[in-house]
């Protein structure tokens, strides 16, 4: 991964430290323990949860990073454009408004509590936007959602949720479009999951024993 060159340059002077710092290798790429710990904190922050402790959280982060590595490699190989930093800033602005009432001081205090920097969060958001767009294009393009699929989702998911409240919504054109987009995203995610399983099988992935699920 991006740390590979720096790690190789440091091998001569600090071999033990470098070995300790590697969490996993994927083909010729590397995921470091620092990246795993950072992912734990980033995920907790974005979910609005306390930073979890223990090996389970590290193993979950390891799985996320393996998937990110494989998708990132595919993004680079296919020359798919990265999301702009402005896209990431807009998403961050939305988070500050929704989570912190627009209070940047509260937001900065929260960052400090999680051991994060603005740049950490912006990089993560930029990557998430890129990955979502890539998955939609790669695995959702050309998919046609049939009217009966929309109707079935409306009956099984939407009406079932609102029926108990006594005020079920009507299947308007706007709601039908929202359902169509949801079904498209579900189809794209299923395609991405299948691709990830196949790609993992073809890749030489070596995760340190304590970080394996």
What percentage of the chain carries pLDDT values higher than 70? 89
Q: What are phi and psi of 116, to 5 degrees?
A: -120, 160
Residue 207 in this model has a pLDDT that exceeds 90: yes
Maximum alpha-carbon separation in the chain: 70
Cα distance between residue 174 and residue 158, in whole Å: 14
* pLDDT for position 166: 67
Q: How many domains does the chain have?
A: 1
Instruction: Tell me the pLDDT tens digit for each residue of 22-69.
Output: 999 999 999 999 999 999 999 999 999 999 999 999 999 999 999 999
Q: What are phi and psi of 205, to 5 degrees?
A: -110, 120
Cα distance between residue 43 and residue 25, in whole Å: 22
- Which helix (H) or strand (E) is 75 found in, with range? helix 55-77
CB 80 within 8 A of CB 101: no
Cα distance between residue 201 and residue 116, in whole Å: 34
pTM, 2 dp:
0.80
Q: Give Cα 81 to chain centroid, integer Å.
A: 17
Residue 10 in this model has a pLDDT that exceeds 80: no
Q: Domain of 84: which CATH number?
A: 1.10.4030.10
Nearest to 46 by CA among 134, 125, 131: 125
Residue 141 in this model has a pLDDT that exceeds 80: yes
Instruction: Tell me the pLDDT tens digit for each residue of 96-135.
Output: 999 999 999 999 999 999 999 999 999 999 999 999 999 9
Full residue range of the structural domain in which residue 202 is found = 4-211
Sorting pLDDT into bands at 50, 70 and 90, what band is 165?
Answer: low
């Amino acid at each position: 991964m991006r740390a590979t060159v720096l790690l190789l340059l440091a091998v001569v002077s600090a071999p033990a430290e470098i070995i300790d710092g590697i969490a996993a290798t994927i083909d010729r790429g590397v995921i470091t323990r620092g990246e795993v710990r950072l992912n734990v904190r980033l995920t907790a922050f974005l979910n609005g949860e306390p930073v979890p402790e223990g090996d389970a959280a590290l193993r979950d982060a390891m799985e996320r990073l393996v998937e990110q590595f494989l998708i990132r490699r595919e993004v680079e190989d296919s020359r798919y454009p990265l999301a702009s930093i402005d896209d990431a800033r807009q998403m961050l602005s939305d988070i500050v408004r929704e989570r912190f009432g627009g209070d940047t001081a509260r937001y900065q205090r929260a960052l400090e509590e999680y051991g994060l920097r603005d740049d950490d969060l912006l990089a993560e958001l930029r990557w998430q936007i890129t990955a979502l767009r890539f998955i939609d294009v790669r695995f959702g393009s050309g998919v046609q959602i049939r009217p009966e699929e929309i109707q079935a989702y409306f009956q099984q998911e939407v009406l079932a949720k609102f029926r108990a409240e006594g005020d079920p919504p009507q299947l308007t054109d706007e709601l039908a479009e929202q359902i169509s987009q949801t079904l498209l995203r579900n189809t794209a995610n299923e395609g991405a999951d299948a691709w990830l399983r196949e790609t993992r099988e073809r890749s030489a992935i070596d995760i340190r024993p304590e970080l394996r699920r």
